[in-house]
Structure 1
């Protein structure tokens, strides 16, 4: 574990620091404070180590395990075309789209089943 502190990978170094501090009896909030990270990050590292051992030092995929597709291909194309138009055509007082405005218009135009 101590050898991992010399890794070129920041993820491996941070996890090693967390796990070594935990093995020395430091609490997750104290570890988080001393390393400048969140308590949840510390808890995740400790939990991963308890489940997977040293494999917890290997970064996993950052891709979500599940996702919801809000638009089919046809609706996505309609949305792309809509975003090339001015938001003023849809009742907004600006010429620049925001994500929230696009989500609202997509819902109002029937492109999505729920409001963003």
Structure 2
């Protein structure tokens, strides 16, 4: 879903992003699929259908849109090889690779939170 450029919501988002780097960063990687794509690319280059096979339930269209967004934000690089059939690979850019320690910390935090939540849900 796209936010109308002149909407109050969009203005609020821009104001928050400009005043808070954490919010800016979270907005870059937010959404259902971007972190998952980063997670799979942290291990190295992957072709489109390799990514598609590893990310269950993502449609080809959604993967294409998310990769395009990530390219625009310079999180991933796309390399097209002049071969028949055409070969396209995606990999994290240098700035995208700097997300890897953040992903690792999010994984640790997520596991801890799930464990705590599971305990409190059973009370």
> Which structure is higher in strand share?
2
Quick check: TM above 0.5?
no
TM-score, normalised to structure 1's length?
A: 0.30
Q: Which has the higher contact order (CA 8 A, sep 6+)?
A: 2
Q: Normalised by the size of structure 2, how large is the TM-score?
A: 0.29
Look at both structures and tell me which one has the larger radius of gyration over its CA atoms.
Answer: 1
